Amino acid sequence: LRNGVNEIYFKKSNDMGNNFSAEIPISDNDGFPSERPRLWANQTGLSIVWHDLRENNFEVYYKMLEHNLITSKALVNNKRLSKKDIYDSMNPSVTCDDKTVYVAWEDAADGQKKEIFYSSSPDQGKTFTPTTILTGYAAFGFSESSEYPKIMTHNQNVHLAWARKYSNNYDIFYKGTIV
């Protein structure tokens, strides 16, 4: 918030936290709020997702930094993952295995309620698959809103947990092997 608006920066340590690198800007420092960064590293790089207000509503963005001890140059520059519309896309979650990046986020794409959206990249963030809606009326038959996704991968299986609001209460839902 140092320039009057939330921006995202990254520092890394090569000596278990004793010393840190200079700041590396993640968001574009363009005067629009960038919030809720999440990151995940694999052998190729550091994947970072966040939501950003630069397009007059929140959209989900992705960036990958080089993963080595000396530099942290961008391997993939800031890329919007959510569909550009007038509804907010927020609270992204990211995970990676050796080959693929997986991202989930909440999106109010129909203007009525939030659902969980998903996309993946088989080439370490250079391109992403078309967005898939993982929750909603067609999937479960009820919902006020699906929020706060958390995505993980283990042994080529992708796992997703999220909160679903129903009658002013939240329940936790799980979906496994979503690829």
Dihedral of CA atoms 64, 75, 31, 9 in degrees, nearest 10, equals 60
Specify whether the CB–CB gap between 42 and 96 falls below 8 A: yes
- The first and second tokens of residue 42, run together, are 């694999």
Give the rounded percent of residues in the chain with a pLDDT score beyond 70.
93
- Please give the mean pLDDT across all residues of the chain: 86
What's the pLDDT score for residue 160? 95
* Distance in angstroms (rounded) separating the CA atoms of residues 170 and 147: 9
Please say if the pLDDT value at position 61 is more than 70. yes
Write out the two tokens for 32.
Answer: 């629009």
Span 15-44, pLDDT tens digits: 888 988 888 888 887 778 899 999 998 888
CB-based contact 116:106 (threshold 8 Å): yes
Out of 36-40, 47-51, 168-172, least confident range: 168-172
Strands 115-121 and 132-133: antiparallel
Tell me the C-alpha distance between 172 and 127, whole Å.
31
Does the structure show a pLDDT above 80 at 170? yes
Q: Is 34 left (phi over 0), alpha (psi -120 to 50) or beta?
A: beta
pLDDT class of 69 with cuts at 50, 70, 90? low
- Decide: 134 and 147 in contact? Cβ < 8 Å: no
Q: Check whether 138 has a pLDDT greater than 70.
A: no
pLDDT band at 178 (very low <50, low <70, confident <90, very high): low
Q: Tens digit of pLDDT for each residue in 113-129?
A: 889 999 999 998 999 99
Q: Which is more confident, 136 or 159?
A: 159
